[in-house]
Amino acid sequence: MRLFYWRMKPMYDIAIIGGGITGCFLARQLCRYALKTVLIEKNTDVADETTKANSGIIHSGYDACPGTLKAKLNRLGNPMFDAICRDLGVPFQRIGSLTLALSEEEIPVLQQLYERGQANEIGGLSLLSAEAVRKTEPRIHSRVKAALLAKTAGIVDPFGLAIALAENAADNGTDIRLNSRVVGIRRENDGYVLTTPSGWIKARYVVNCGGVFAGEINELLSPARFRIRPVKGEYIVFDKQVGDLVRHVVFQCPSEKGKGVLVTPTVHGNLMVGPNSQDVEDKEDVSTTRSGLDEILATAGNSVETIPLPLAITGFSGLRASADTGDFVIEELSGYRGFINAAGIDSPGLTASPAIAELVIDLLKSGGLKLTPNPAFDPIRKPIVNVVNLSEEEKSELIRKDPRYGRIICRCESITEGEIVEAIRRRVGARSVDGVKRRVRAGMGRCQGGFCGPRVLEILARELHVSRCQVVKDRGASYLLSEQ
Amino acid sequence: MNKQRMADLVVIGGGPAGLAAAIEARRHGVRDILLLERDRELGGILPQCIHNGFGLHLFKKELTGPEYAECFIDELKDLNIEYKLDTMVLRIHKNRIIEAVSPNEGYFRVQARAVILAMGCRERTRGALLIPGSRPAGIFTAGTAQRLVNIEGSPVGKKAVILGSGDIGLIMARRLTLEGANVEAVVEMMPYPGGLNRNIVQCLHDFEIPLLLSHTVVNVYGRDRLTGVEIARVDQNQKVIPGTRQSIECDTMLLSVGLIPENELSVQCGIELDPTTQGPVVDEHMQTSIDGIFACGNVVHVHDLVDYVTEESRKAGRSAAAYIEHKTKTCELRIKTVPGKSIRYIVPHYVNWDQSDQDLEFFFRSRDVHDRASLVVNLDGKLIKTIRRRHLVPGEMQHIKLKRKMLPICSKQSTLSISIL
Ligand SMILES: Cc1cc2nc3c(=O)[nH]c(=O)nc-3n(C[C@H](O)[C@H](O)[C@H](O)COP(=O)(O)OP(=O)(O)OC[C@H]3O[C@@H](n4cnc5c(N)ncnc54)[C@H](O)[C@@H]3O)c2cc1C
Ligand SMILES: Cc1cc2nc3c(=O)[nH]c(=O)nc-3n(C[C@H](O)[C@H](O)[C@H](O)COP(=O)(O)OP(=O)(O)OC[C@H]3O[C@@H](n4cnc5c(N)ncnc54)[C@H](O)[C@@H]3O)c2cc1C
């Protein structure tokens, strides 16, 4: 038996467990070196857990406690986004953030935050008077007394970025194994054997990027020194009609419950409010609650004069993977050479993700991994065309070559059949209706797939050569149609 | 490589509204008409409405949706009116240039002398209601489910709850039952149903499907596929009454919670909308706030009966023809219509002063249920007509006719109001 998998399974240099932003960034950055890497993800798609449900803010970094890994990796991660997003064709906008003082008492808090920012070596911070805030943000609440402006804060499409990273990694030779939950890990003399329902995977180094499940993954090998507690955050997204309600990411002063409820435009031009902060038991519970939605609406109502409730288009929630150590846990598991945890990656995990990847690469190197440059590495990923944004000539040219780019399937976001087919056919392509939505936004608009849903389903069935009853909404058995 | 052509009239949307408008315009002498439809067939929403109940008013017989549409599609073809399918209008400019795209012709522009908007409406979704809970597969808007079942022949589920008692939801309750599914309940937040009484009787009562008024869905369960919903009773202010929660097992939930006129193109073009109907503000010729752009059908306000869509659209077709012939009489002096007590909206929003003896028609909905009501029409505060109605419900659109000569113009700010007493 043993001999069997020894011979049958390829030996990877590195196995990454978890296809969230942490795992995808690491996979992509490792492509710079001549290594054989596999990214293992339990779901049908990458970026289908916390990475798809967060605020999408690239934080400036004034907020983290000085001296922590969070503070350091936030500072290092933030400036890396411009170049990487450009290479990968992912929208990123440095719109800046405003943290509001909602009362006179909070003005000193802003001062403290400013000083913390100085301690964290964050540039671009300044304090604004109430008048100055109202000048840049006319819709802001009249009670606002002052604000801290952080110029370097930005917004990004977090799942779009993770998908682009995975795709670019795959283009550069990384194996991406989906539908492969790691259920067992065993140490072998020169590495580890990971068990998944679809077979064994052998690797010399393993990096655990398992999000809320990072503790469980660690414990497949030995007791973990940290515990991950899932903390739910809920959101509401509004129609693009009100996408310009605010121009900055608008925070309130942080409290013991976290960074508080924000109001922000998204990179796609919607308005988003959230999150709250709620301890939950179940690590798969991403339901929204009446009380949670009411809480974020009420709290956000302190930041801006009116929340355009009738223009809400959807609600969602995500789970922060908070470690009881209070900081990211990025280290080799003691006693297990070559097994590295990247755990407790809660906020600002998205911002820190490129820096986390570099830190893990350093750890791998000090663990003995040889890093020789990969001369074939191509950092560029061409984004899926977005037909509506092309010039008239480009549109005509593209449609002439492939008429499917002239057939609009999602009318709210004006997404064509050509774009949907591309989203399915690319490497690490969409395998579900939500997978299509995360790649090209079909179904993300105001009608939430009411019109395009049946058509996307049909295209998926055709492209994947399955019956329509086998098409899923998202994960597992989320079949859209029932059998005859 | 800009393609641009000319047309006398461009009609956007090939549903019953667009079809009737195009046909009527041709009958009134408009030669160069182009109808653009984004779907693969003409008929709008009708091809998926395979039930009876269309045309009672207009043809005095009960047709199915496809049969009703067919009458107009045949006529459109007989009249040789040019239409393009699979063609999506992307933008309308104030100067009546239309931008559109299709797989066959690519991206193109049309300069029209007049435009008729007939884009219909879309359904409100779960997201708009912010129903909390998980987000599994198995939740559809009723119209989407109708399309899946009736056009694609795909069953959507076995055990269903329907939220909202709009007509599509009621029709789908019956449809799913006939397909062999169990419809556990139709749950309606208001104390009265949203759809037509005839649909309550024919789709629910006849199939013993419970209608739970003053109830709503408060939670949704299921990780992959829907496994159940929690419902609760609500008070007059639509607040949940504690202690009334109960769970219903189901694998499917359909939403029939309202339709929204499809006016992204209108907004982009700068056409004024009525915040209540969410459709363009129109005058008695169905002309919008922009000269030469007309609108009709569900894009203006949501209709219950297609017959009225057809009539309204014929009016738009005639008006566009008159406009193209330079015969339209819009005038400085306009009477504004104002919804009075218990009236939600009135269409048209304006009436131009004019000495013809043509009848004027007003369409409106009540805010709530009224028995033995009097409709009172006032011009500048002076009573000009009282009409008795036995029963008024928000789910059934009302209309009244007035003679032009009943409206002697008084001033530039004249208003005509309709109230329920
Ligand atoms: C409400 C909220 C708001 C936030 N806002 C921000 C923000 O504005 N800015 C910011 O910088 N950060 C923010 N964060 C934090 C950020 O979202 C996370 O740090 C980041 O997404 C974590 O990514 P990850 O890859 O570590 O985890 P995940 O995205 O959860 O990925 C882990 C992956 O591992 C997979 N997996 C788990 N177990 C196994 C197994 N046994 N086998 C195989 N695969 C497995 C999972 O399926 C999953 O895909 C926010 C978080 C939340 C919850
Ligand atoms: C389920 C259901 C049941 C009904 N039952 C009855 C009944 O029993 N009896 C009855 O009398 N009435 C019934 N009705 C009402 C009646 O069918 C509608 O009022 C009528 O279809 C509205 O016509 P319309 O042309 O305004 O809109 P639609 O039928 O919606 O047509 C609009 C058309 O415009 C097209 N379009 C939109 N935007 C664009 C664009 N940008 N470019 C190109 N094309 C575009 C759309 O694709 C569509 O084909 C029912 C309606 C529904 C939905």
User: pLDDT digit string (tens) for A366-401?
Assistant: 999 999 999 999 999 999 999 989 999 999 999 999
- Render pLDDT for A392-444 as a digit per residue (tens, 0 to 9): 999 999 999 999 999 999 988 899 999 999 999 999 999 999 999 999 998 88
User: What integer pLDDT is reported at residue B409 of this predicted model?
Assistant: 67
Tokens of A241: 């009609």
Q: How close A399 comes to chain B (CA, Å)?
A: 5
Contact at CB, B156 and A482, closer than 8 angstroms: yes
| Mean pLDDT, residues B118-122 taken together | 96
Q: A280 — contact with chain B (CB < 8 Å)?
A: no
For the question of whether the overall pTM of this predicted structure is more than 0.90, the answer is: yes
- Quick one: which ligand is closest to B19's CA? 2
In a domain? residue A418: yes
pLDDT of B1 reads 44
- Residue A143 contacts by C-beta under 8 Å, 6 or more apart in sequence? A102, A103, A302
- Domains annotated for chain B, with CATH where assigned, are 1-123+259-328 (3.50.50.60), 125-257 (3.50.50.60), 331-421 (2.60.40)
- Residues of A with a known catalytic role: 59
Nearest ligand (C-alpha, residue A39): 1
Same-domain status, A337 and A355: yes
Q: Is residue A480 assigned to a domain?
A: no
CB contact under 8 A, B143 and A407: no
| Residue with CA closest to ligand 2 atom 38 | B119
Distance B39 CA to ligand 2 centre (A): 12
Q: For chain A, say whether B12 makes contact (Cβ under 8 Å).
A: no
The residues facing B401 across adjacent strands are B361
**Residue A204's closest CA among A112, A380, A340, A311?**
A340
CA-nearest residue, atom 18 of ligand 2: B306
Residue A287 lies in a domain: yes
For residue B303, the CA-to-ligand 2 centroid distance in Å is: 9
Number of CB atoms found within 10 A of residue A175's CB = 16
| Secondary structure of chain B as H, E, C letters | CCCEEEEEEEEECCCHHHHHHHHHHHHCCCCCEEEECCCCCCCCCHHHCCCEEECCCCCCCCEEHHHHHHHHHHHHHHCCCEEECCCEEEEECCCCEEEEEECCCEEEEEEEEEEEECCCEEECCHHHHCCCECCCECEEEHHHHHHHHHCCCCCCCCEEEEECCCHHHHHHHHHHHHCCCEEEEEECCCCCCCCCHHHHHHHHHHHCCCEECCEEEEEEECCCECCEEEEEEECCCCCECCCCCEEEECCEEEECCCEEECCHHHHHHCCCECCCCCCECCECCCECCCCCEEECHHHCCCCCCHHHHHHHHHHHHHHHHHHHCCCCCCCCCEEEEEECCCEEEEECCEEECCCCCCEEEEEEEECCCEEEEEEEEEECCEEEEEEEEEEECCCCCEEEEEEHHHCCCCCCCCEEEEEEC
- The enclosing domain of A407 has a CATH number of 1.10.10
**pLDDT at residue B357 in the model:** 75
- Mean pLDDT of the residues in chain B: 94
Nearest to A481 among B90, B122, B154 (CB): B154
Give the separation between CA B47 and CA B85, rounded to whole angstroms.
15
Which residue among A315, A393, A446 places its CB closest to the CB of B1? A393
pLDDT score at B126? 85
- The dihedral over CA atoms of B350, B354, B360, B362, expressed in degrees to the nearest 10, equals 10
Q: Smallest CA–CA separation between A458 and chain B, in Å?
A: 10
Q: What is the per-residue pLDDT across B367-402, written as a single tens digit (0 to 9) for each?
A: 999 999 999 999 999 999 999 999 999 988 999 999
How confident is the model at residue A393, as a pLDDT? 92
Closest chain A residue by Cα to residue B90: A414
> Which chain B residues touch A454 with a CB distance below 8 Å?
144, 147-148, 152, 154
- Give A7's contacts (C-beta < 8 A, 6+ positions apart): none
pLDDT of residue A365: 96
Nearest CA in chain A to B126: A314
Q: Does residue A83 lie within any of the structural domains?
A: no
**Cβ distance of B122 and A403 shorter than 8 Å:** no
Which residues have CB under 8 Å from A384's CB, separation 6+? A419, A422, A423, A426, A439, A440
Q: List pLDDT tens digits, range B150-202.
A: 999 999 999 999 999 999 999 999 999 999 999 999 999 999 999 989 999 99
**Residue B328 in tokens:** 């339209």
* Average pLDDT per consecutive 10 residues, chain A (484 residues; last block may be shorter): 52 97 98 98 97 97 96 98 98 98 95 97 97 96 97 98 98 97 93 94 97 98 96 96 96 80 96 96 95 95 94 95 97 96 97 98 96 97 94 93 96 93 97 96 86 92 96 92 78
Instruction: Based on the fold, state whether residues A218 and A236 are members of the same structural domain.
Output: no
Nearest to B161 by CA among B189, B190, B186: B186
Measured in whole angstroms, how far is the alpha carbon of residue A136 from the centre of its chain?
29
Judgement on whether residues A310 and A434 belong to the same structural domain of the protein? no
- Compare all CA atoms of chain B with the CA of A389 and give the residue at the minimum distance: B90
**Residue A482 falls inside a structural domain:** no
State the virtual CA torsion across B86, B91, B97, B103 in degrees, nearest 10.
Answer: -30
A218 token code pair: 């660690």
Distance from residue B37's CA to the centre of ligand 2 (Å): 12
Final residue belonging to a domain, choices A320, A349, A375: A320
Q: Does A408 sit within 8 Å of B123, measured CB to CB? A: no
**pLDDT > 90: what percent of chain B?**
86
Q: Residue B80 contacts by C-beta under 8 Å, 6 or more apart in sequence?
A: none
Per the CB < 8 A criterion, the answer to whether B10 and B109 are in contact is no
Same domain, A339 and A459: no
Tell me: do A280 and A298 sit in the same domain. yes
What pLDDT, in 10s, does the model give residues B259-299?
999 999 999 999 999 999 999 999 999 999 999 999 999 99
Does the beta carbon of A78 sit less than 6 angstroms from any atom of ligand 1? no
User: Is A313 in contact with B126 (Cβ distance < 8 A)?
Assistant: no
Q: Which of A283, A420, A452, A482 should one mutate to test binding to chain B, selecting the residue with the greatest count of B CBs within 10 A?
A: A482
Residue A396 structure tokens: 């005509």
**Furthest-apart CA atoms within chain A: distance in Å:** 74
- Closest to A46 in 3D by CA, of A429, A378, A466: A429
Residue whose CB lies within 8 A of the most ligand 1 atoms, among A63, A181, A350, for a mutation test: A350
Q: What Å distances lie between residue A388 and B177, B187, B270, CA to CA?
A: 42, 40, 20
- Please judge whether A406 and B102 are an interchain contact, meaning their C-beta atoms are less than 8 angstroms apart: yes
Between strands B88-92 and B97-102, the pairing is: antiparallel
Give which of A134, A132, A113, A72 is closest to A259, Cα–Cα: A113
Return the number of CB contacts < 8 Å for A and B. Answer: 139
**Distances in whole angstroms, Cα of residue A194 to Cα of each of A27, A181, B111:** 17, 10, 65
> What is the structure's pLDDT at A484?
58
Tell which residue, A71, A77, A72, A73, has the closest CA to residue A58.
Answer: A77
As a dihedral over the C-alpha atoms of residue A463, residue A464, residue A466, residue A469, rounded to 10 degrees, the angle is -90
Q: Is residue B174 within 6 Å of ligand 2 at its C-beta?
A: no
Ligand in closest contact with the CA of B55: 2
Query: A292 to chain B nearest CA, in Å?
Result: 9
Which class for A317: exposed (0-12), middle (13-18), buried (19 or more C-beta within 10 A)?
A: buried
Cβ–ligand 1 distance for A35 under 6 Å, the answer: no
pLDDT recorded at residue B406: 82
State whether A464 and A391 are in the same domain.
Answer: yes
Q: Do A293 and B103 touch (CB under 8 A)?
A: no
- Two tokens, residue A139: 């819709």
Same domain assignment for residues A142 and A242? yes
Question: Burial level of B180, CB count in 10 A (0-12/13-18/19+)?
Answer: exposed
pLDDT at B252 over 50: yes
Q: Which of A296, A386, A387, A408 to mutate to test the interface with B (most CBs of B within 10 A)?
A: A408
- A234 and A130 in a common domain: yes
Query: Residues A210, A340: one domain?
Result: yes
Question: Which residues in chain A have their CB less than 8 angstroms from residue B106's CB?
Answer: 395-396, 399-400, 406
Instruction: With beta carbons under 8 A apart, name residues in chain B contacting A399.
Output: 101, 103, 106-107
* CB within 8 Å of A41: residues ≥ 6 apart: A18, A19, A23, A176, A177, A178, A179, A180
The range of the structural domain enclosing residue A413 comes to 387-470
Q: Is B63 in the pocket of ligand 2 (CB under 6 A)?
A: no
- Determine the pLDDT at residue B294: 98
Question: Which of A405, A454, A478 lies closest to B137 in CB terms?
Answer: A478
Q: Which amino acid, residue B314? A: R
Q: If you count them, how many residues does chain B have?
A: 421
Query: Which among A16, A26, A49 is the best mutation to test ligand 1's pocket, defined by most ligand atoms within 8 Å of the CB?
Result: A49
Tell me, yes or no, whether A294 lies in a domain. Answer: yes
A220 shares contact with chain B (CB less than 8 Å): no
Q: Could you tell me the distance, in angstroms and rounded to a whole number, from the CA of residue A78 to the centre of ligand 1?
A: 17
- A337, A366, A395: which is the final residue of a domain? A366
The answer to whether residue B56 neighbours chain A at the CB level (below 8 Å) is: no
Interface of A with B in 61-120 (CB under 8 A): none
* Closest CA of chain B from A434, distance in Å: 10
Closest listed residue to residue A263, CA positions, set A275, A278, A277: A275
Residues A354 and A445 in one domain: no
Q: Are the C-beta atoms of A214 and A344 separated by less than 8 Å?
A: yes
CATH code at position A304? 3.30.9.10
Instruction: Locate the ligand 1 atom nearest the alpha carbon of residue A181 and give its number.
Output: 42
> B297: closest CA among B193, B169, B397?
B397
Contact B133, A287 (CB under 8 A): yes
Q: Are residues A262 and A128 in the same domain?
A: yes
pLDDT in tens, A334-364: 999 999 999 999 999 999 999 999 999 999 9
The answer to whether A400 contacts B133, with C-beta atoms less than 8 Å apart, is no
Nearest alpha carbon to residue A98 among A263, A233, A245, A235: A263
Chain A residues lying within 8 Å of B128, measured CB to CB? 310, 312-313
Task: Give the CATH number of the domain where residue A8 resides.
Answer: 3.50.50.60
Number of domains in chain A: 3
Ligand 1 center to A54 CA (angstroms): 9
Predicted ipTM? 0.91
Residues A44 and A169 both lie in one domain:
yes
Q: Which atom of ligand 1 is nearest to the CA of A275?
A: 1
* Percent of residues, chain B, with pLDDT higher than 70: 98
Inform me whether the pLDDT recorded for B2 exceeds 80. no
> Does residue A379 form part of some domain?
no
Chosen from A451, A459, A468 to mutate, greatest number of chain B CBs within 10 A:
A451
Q: Is residue A116 part of a domain?
A: yes
